[in-house]
Amino acid sequence: MLFGRQGNDDLVVRGARVIDPAEGVDAVLDVRVDGGAIAQLGTNLETNAHRVVDGEGLVLTPAFVDPHVHLRTPGREDEETIATGTAAAAAGGYCAILAMPNTEPVVDSAAVLGSLAETAQAEAEVPVGFLAAITRNQDGAELTEMAELADAGAAGFTDDGRPVVAPGLMRRALQYSAVTGRRLALHCEEPTLSKSGQMHEGAVSAELGFAGYPSVAESLMVERDLALAAYERQPVHLMHLSARESVEALSRAQVAGMAATGEVTPHHLCLTDEAVRSLDSNVKMNPPLRAEGDRQALVAGLRDGTIAAVATDHAPHARHEKEVPFEAAPFGVTGLETAFSALYTHLVEPGLLKLETLLERMSAGPARAYGLDPPRIAVGAPANLVLLDLQASRRVSESDFRSRSANSWLLGETVKGQVRLTIAAGRVAFEG
């Protein structure tokens, strides 16, 4: 399901604090990688003439998995390509990303998927999985040939960017997805409630005059999709949750035994609708930034595991399309290169989230949600590692981005926690 280059690098990372929450590891160790796989953990390891990376004072942990990236290819290569998007991912500490199918053309046929897979095999800095559309051209009318798409390597199915509006069609998609062995990933939005909405509906939208996109537009669709999935006994993954009521609905479904997972973005975890007072188009996204109560519910959901995954929803946009009044700007912000430092700075440093929890939700959590092998630090496992400097801080600046776009909500902000080294599928993909 992942397409990219396999590495066979040899390397020793010496003296880093090795943390793998899933393996129960948290100790200062040396890690030796032979031929792209983890060969030995211990102290004072033989280097076998390998390159030695000094990890002293740094954290070595399973590299991150981003379940929600827009690579804009095919169609908008001016905004991102597979090469630049995966370079950005590597710089952000990711060893695997999942790309969304809302491209031009939409990834709704094995032919389009096949050509993307081929490009990724050749150009990707980190392996990429491609989600295919649920409906043809994401029109919400006819199902795609899901079985063939799954055979061609689709990592899952989504109409991301849009909901599947008709309940009858959603039900058919759930039923049919059973034969694919892949799950549906759902963008939950009731369009008659969100129509023309520019930001969260609340005191800030009332004051600024923006048309509101109420939280119930999301949570109502979350409730509907969970009800249909429960009825069909199918697993679902809920994308970029933003509202407290959505987290509560997901939690109830999980308690009832459903195989439902959820993801949340760094911006929804760090910001609220108050940020929109700046009228900066880099805080315009769908779903919108919500109220403080929603943000707290998202943090709590991530902490207690109701929300299994952090997803960047990395959405590159051309500069001229964002340099317009807020209402004219497209939805979406970039995130691959800032996700860890944003969350480390905003949640871990102030004590709102344990470092181990954040690392798990950025790596094993998202991998499991899509049935991928979680990156882990264990002898024999492929080397998917990230080396983090938690003390280093930097001012986020446009010139540092490897992404082809710079529509980041963090521009100008100083964040702590830097990626020093990313090893993806046994290959050094980034050094900084």
DSSP reduced 3-state for 322: helix
By CB under 8 A, name the one of 248, 411, 416, 432 that touches another protein. 411
Q: Any alpha helices (H) in 29-166, and if so which ranges?
A: 82-91, 110-123, 146-151
Name, in order, each residue with C-beta under 8 angstroms of 418's C-beta and a sequence gap of 6 or more: 341, 388, 389, 392, 393, 394, 432
DSSP reduced 3-state for 269: helix
For residue 38, the one-letter residue type is: I
Cβ distance to another protein smaller for residue 98 or 396: 396
Cβ distance to another protein smaller for residue 119 or 242: 242
Of 163-202, which residues contact another protein (CB under 8 A)? 196, 201-202
Report if residue 328 touches another protein, rule: CB under 8 A.
Answer: yes
Rounded CA separation 313/285 (Å):
10
Give strand pairing partners of 230.
none
By CB under 8 A, name the one of 165, 208, 230, 381 that touches another protein. 208
Known catalytic residue: 304? Answer: no
Rounded CA separation 161/327 (Å):
17
Q: Which residue among 139, 313, 373, 400 is the active-site one?
A: 313
Per-residue x/- marks for another protein, 27-66, CB under 8 A?
----------------------------------------
Stretch that binds another protein, among 27-35, 170-178, 316-324, 360-368 (CB under 8 A): 316-324
Rounded CA separation 338/359 (Å):
14
DSSP reduced 3-state for 364: helix
Report if residue 210 touches another protein, rule: CB under 8 A.
Answer: yes
Instruction: For residue 344, give the nearest of 415, 395, 275 by alpha carbon.
Output: 415
User: What are 117's two structure tokens?
Assistant: 């897979």
Stretch that binds another protein, among 241-249, 349-357, 408-416, 418-426 (CB under 8 A): 408-416
Mutual angle of helices 215-232 and 244-255, in 10-degree steps: 20
Instruction: For residue 335, give the nearest of 270, 245, 432 by alpha carbon.
Output: 270
By CB under 8 A, name the one of 122, 206, 227, 256 that touches another protein. 206
Q: Give the chain's largest Cα–Cα span.
A: 65
Residue 43: Cβ-neighbour burial (10 angstroms; 0-12, 13-18, 19+): exposed
Report if residue 245 touches another protein, rule: CB under 8 A.
Answer: no
Q: How far is the CB of 124 from another protein (least distance, A)?
A: 30
Of 330-359, which residues contact another protein (CB under 8 A)? none
Report if residue 212 touches another protein, rule: CB under 8 A.
Answer: yes
Rounded CA separation 158/183 (Å):
9
Report if residue 278 touches another protein, rule: CB under 8 A.
Answer: yes
Report if residue 325 touches another protein, rule: CB under 8 A.
Answer: yes
Cβ distance to another protein smaller for residue 51 or 277: 277
Report if residue 401 touches another protein, rule: CB under 8 A.
Answer: no
By CB under 8 A, name the one of 24, 320, 350, 399 that touches another protein. 320
Q: How far is the CB of 225 from another protein (least distance, A)?
A: 25
Report if residue 209 touches another protein, rule: CB under 8 A.
Answer: yes
Rounded CA separation 299/321 (Å):
31
Of 136-165, which residues contact another protein (CB under 8 A)? none
Rounded CA separation 138/197 (Å):
21
Q: Helix, strand, coil: what percent of the chain each, to 5? A: 35, 25, 40
Report if residue 380 touches another protein, rule: CB under 8 A.
Answer: no
Count of residues that bind another protein according to CB under 8 A: 28
Q: How far is the CB of 279 from another protein (least distance, A)?
A: 4
Binding site for another protein (CB under 8 A): 196, 201-210, 212, 214, 278-282, 320, 323-328, 411-413
Which residues carry out catalysis?
Answer: 313
